[in-house]
């Protein structure tokens, strides 16, 4: 007597298929959410890193200018006020969070200090959108009696929200403004505060202090 083998050809039921699809969709959802989160974190990290590099390069650029501030301690303010005042530092608060700075600085095209020459330098904000500005630098290689005009200008960075300056005097006080054309002095330290939006649109603030080596007459 032979043995008959029974073969079960029953397929998946509709309920089993739906359960399998639901589980697969749940797993794919988790994978997609994880991937999207990691991708977003990477984008934010890359944007933050790029913004930090930009702002630090900008800081080094501005620090180099401000550390070369120049004033003539021998100029007679009473005799030549205001026409012949060429050297100094003037700050202006244009509006809330919008300031400009104009000053004379020693510049050189080489490492030889004997080749240094005096230039006018200015930093200001130019509107570039709704509540957004571009940071502009002005250079005038032929200083004259007008410390705030002349020369040529170019953009350093866009996406700036605000630019403010503070000045530390020899009395240990932080001042919001400085005007050396009525007092032949420079501050001891200048604080620069820049608020900006990174490439992801997030607001950030960067602050730095620049010692002024010629701020005190030696």
The mean per-residue pLDDT over the stretch 152-162 comes to 90
Provide mean pLDDT across the span 183-194: 88
CA distance 48 to 167: 29
- pLDDT, one tens digit per residue, over 64-121 is 888 888 877 666 655 555 445 467 889 999 888 899 999 988 876 656 556 678 889 9
Percent of the chain with pLDDT over 70: 78
Please, which residues have CB within 8 angstroms of residue 195's CB and are 6 or more apart in sequence? Answer: 97, 160, 161, 162, 163, 203, 204, 205, 206
The tens digit of pLDDT for each residue in 28-70 reads: 888 888 887 877 776 766 666 677 787 788 888 888 888 888 8
Contact indicator for 49, 192 with CB cutoff of 8 Å: no
For 196-211, write each residue's pLDDT tens digit: 887 667 788 888 899 8
Q: Determine the Cα–Cα distance for residues 166 and 152; give it in Å rounded to an integer.
A: 26
Question: How large is the average pLDDT for residues 10-18?
Answer: 74
């Amino acid at each position: 007597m032979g043995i008959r083998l029974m073969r079960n050809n029953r397929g998946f039921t509709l309920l089993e298929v739906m359960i399998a699809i639901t589980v697969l969709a749940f797993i794919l959802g988790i994978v997609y959410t994880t991937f999207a989160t990691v991708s977003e974190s990477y984008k934010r990290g890359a944007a933050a890193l790029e913004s930090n590099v930009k702002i630090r390069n900008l800081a080094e650029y501005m620090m180099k200018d401000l550390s070369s501030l120049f004033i003539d301690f021998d100029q007679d303010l009473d005799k030549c006020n205001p026409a012949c005042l060429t050297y100094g530092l003037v700050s202006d608060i244009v509006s809330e969070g919008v300031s400009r700075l104009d000053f004379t600085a020693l510049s050189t095209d080489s490492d030889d200090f004997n080749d240094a020459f005096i230039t006018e330098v200015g930093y200001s904000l130019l509107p570039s959108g709704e509540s957004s500005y571009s940071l502009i630098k002005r250079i005038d290689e032929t200083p004259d009696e007008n410390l705030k005009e002349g020369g040529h200008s170019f953009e350093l960075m866009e996406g700036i929200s605000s630019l403010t300056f503070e000045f530390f005097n020899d009395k240990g006080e932080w001042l919001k403004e400085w005007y050396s054309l009525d007092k032949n002095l420079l501050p001891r330290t200048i604080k620069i505060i820049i608020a900006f939006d990174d490439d992801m649109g997030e607001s950030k603030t960067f602050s730095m202090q620049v010692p002024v080596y010629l701020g005190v007459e030696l």
